[in-house]
Structure 1
Amino acid sequence: MAIPIFRASIPQSQIQPFIHYLSTTRSRVDETNNKRKMVLSCSTSELSPTRSEVSFAVGTCLIPHPKKVDRGGEDAFLVSSYNGGVIAVADGVSGWAEEDVDPSLFPRELMANASSFVGDEEVNYDPQNLIRKAHAATSSIGSATVIVAMLEKNGTLKIANVGDCALRIIRSGHVVFSSSPQEHYFDCPFQLSSQKAGQTYLDAAVSKVALMEGDTIIMGSDGLFDNVFDHEMVSIIANYTDVSEAAKALANLASNHAKDSNFDSPYSIEARSRGIELPFWKKILGMKLIGGKLDDITVIVGQVVSS
């Protein structure tokens, strides 16, 4: 996406190590090994905190942009078993590469910091506060969109998002909640940044939703939602009982759509509705604004289960 960015003077020595998957304990991961693993990274875990009424059973999958496979892409995510369960996604802004900055460093450090602050007293199990603390502690140059969801033991899901990472809640075969994307203009979302000109936790869209056992949460970067329609998500959730397999199926579907120049994707439909047009010479050749959008694709599927 074409994102306006700003220069910074933070020394490279402050950039944190590569971190892609995190639990409540922050850990260092060898970057070289991760590069080999992230061509397709999928996992599943059941988050069952002690004495919870409900919690998440979680499956995850990440497929990097085809041109960023060697670096593992520029998305990062967090899954934590704290309380009823915490899930989060951060999507690095690729425009920083033009400034010779690795766009993956900021979102990865942001998620690492979020992991370390999940149980912090000042956070008080509030996703907006978690964004505040994690952003303030992040020293890497760059920017990212982010979404955080925290499940209370009583079934209340608290959500905060800055930008266009998104979330859907599916109940009995229907989407009953959709988060709202935030943008300055088409393809330029709100974003947390290492620069003062970016957004902050105060700009986050905040929501609360009462969940029921059996509800399914789909969270992801825009690589998922730009390429997969809601009805396709509902269909996949209905066909998979295993959350890990569901996450993998959603990510694969998004990847296939992204590579299909003839697929009329949510992204291309939105572009046309915003008045985005092809260059005149392409129109003369009969070309149309259509196709999927190549991007990093991160998917988290969480099912609400009784603890």
Structure 2
Amino acid sequence: MHSVALYGRLLARAIATGIHSELQIQRERAREPLQLVTGSSGFSKTITKSTNTRKWAFGDDAYFISKNKTVDVIGVADGVGGWRSYGIDPSAFPRILMATCERMVQEGCFRPQAPATVIAASYQELMEQKVPLIGSSTACLVALHREERTIYSANLGDSGFLVIREGEVVHRSQEQQHYFNTPFQLAVAPPNQQGLVLSDSPEVAESTSFGVEEGDIILLGTDGLFDNMQEDMLLEYISKVKDHKEETVQTTASNIAEKAYQLSFDPEYMSPFAMSAMDAGIDFRGGKPDDITVIVARVTSLGET
């Protein structure tokens, strides 16, 4: 009887020790720094070409993926195509804006908790050029602070992002529009058109923060994505990201971009853009042909590759 009781105490102690060890492992893992494993893709509405090249522009869209010692940052910008009728390349402004943001991230010239300051500083640099870079664009940046395990975002306009956890959207950006199909935007106008061109201050960008967990997915895109794909469609594609391998994430980004591109030219599809048009009293049906940029980023521990 004594030996049975002793065995029972030893077994209970072993179980308790095992539980304690498992809890300790979980606590330590919860404190591990995080990183983003990313994939990117897109289409120009006029050139049927997609790519996973990191530094690229799709039509009048532009994006970047960068990091420094503290943060991983992803960003997109959507140029205003109306400048083309004035003989101005509308892709130049967003492309240089994103390239400047990328450089500032790499140099660590910003506070990780305030990505809006990167947009503001980059925009200021464009305005101060000896030969002003004429144009307009939206801008959306998401920064993952590795040690804090928190994303900080800044969104100006109708690009945006979703944070997806276990198949559900747990955080999202808010679209900023003056009126239907006219988003908030940064702009540099010719001297003779100052005050005549729609331009918003980077200070009005929506800024948010959100604690993320390993396994979360961040889906960032321009309006060409969100105007053409319903949220449940996006979640279906994201559900296929089962691991943190870069090729898995890249394949998902490519598949989403290809689907959005197909739907954008479907005249019978009731797209999110068409539904918004109807809400605004506009008779419109079908997808919205547009430049499309997609970045898929999986949150994983810094020790994994």
Q: Return the TM-score normalized by structure 2.
A: 0.77
RMSD, matched Cα: 1.9
Deviates more, 1:221-230 or 1:193-202: 193-202
Greater Rg by CA = 2
| Distance in structure 1 (CA, Å) of the matches to 2:119 and 2:279 | 32
Q: Is there any run of 5+ residues in structure 2 with no aligned partner, and where?
A: 1-30, 50-56, 127-131, 243-247
* Structure 1 SS opposite 2:138: strand
C-alpha distance 304-176 of structure 1, shift in aligned 2 (>3 A) = same
Question: Would you say 1:80 and 2:60 are equivalent positions?
Answer: no
Superposition pairs of residues 146-185 of structure 1, within 5 angstroms: 146-153=139-146, 154-185=148-179
- Contact 2:256-2:294 within 8 A present in 1 as well: yes
Question: Would you say 1:276 and 2:282 are equivalent positions?
Answer: yes
Q: Which runs of 4+ in 1 moved over 4 A?
A: 119-122
- Contact 1:56-1:84 within 8 A present in 2 as well: no
Question: Would you say 1:262 and 2:263 are equivalent positions?
Answer: no
User: Which residue in 2 is equivalent to 1:222?
Assistant: 223
How far apart are 1:297 and its partner, in Å?
0.4
User: Which residue in 1 is equivalent to 2:120?
Assistant: 132
Of 30, 34, 52, the match for 1:54: 34
How far apart are 1:72 and its partner, in Å?
4.8
* Structure 1 SS opposite 2:140: strand
Of 139, 142, 145, the match for 2:138: 145
Identical amino acids, percent of aligned pairs = 35
C-alpha distance 68-232 of structure 1, shift in aligned 2 (>3 A) = closer
| Number of equivalenced pairs | 246
How far apart are 1:84 and its partner, in Å?
3.2
Deviates more, 1:88-97 or 1:51-60: 51-60
Question: Would you say 1:98 and 2:92 are equivalent positions?
Answer: no
How far apart are 1:81 and its partner, in Å?
2.4
- Contact 1:54-1:84 within 8 A present in 2 as well: no
* CA-to-aligned-CA distance 1:195-229 (integer Å, 9 cap, x gap): 36511211101110110000000000000000001
- Contact 2:224-2:291 within 8 A present in 1 as well: yes
Question: Which amino acid letter does the alignment assign opposite residue 143 of structure 2?
Answer: M
User: Which residue in 1 is equivalent to 2:290?
Assistant: 295
User: Which residue in 1 is equivalent to 2:96?
Assistant: 109
Question: Which amino acid letter does the alignment assign opposite residue 75 of structure 1?
Answer: D
C-alpha distance 89-72 of structure 1, shift in aligned 2 (>3 A) = closer
Q: Is there any run of 5+ residues in structure 1 with no aligned partner, and where?
A: 1-50, 278-288
- Contact 1:268-1:292 within 8 A present in 2 as well: yes
Q: Return the TM-score normalized by structure 1.
A: 0.76
* Structure 1 SS opposite 2:71: coil
* Structure 2 SS opposite 1:150: strand
* CA-to-aligned-CA distance 1:59-81 (integer Å, 9 cap, x gap): 00021112586x95111101002
How far apart are 1:122 and its partner, in Å?
5.2
Question: Which amino acid letter does the alignment assign opposite residue 133 of structure 2?
Answer: S
C-alpha distance 136-68 of structure 1, shift in aligned 2 (>3 A) = farther
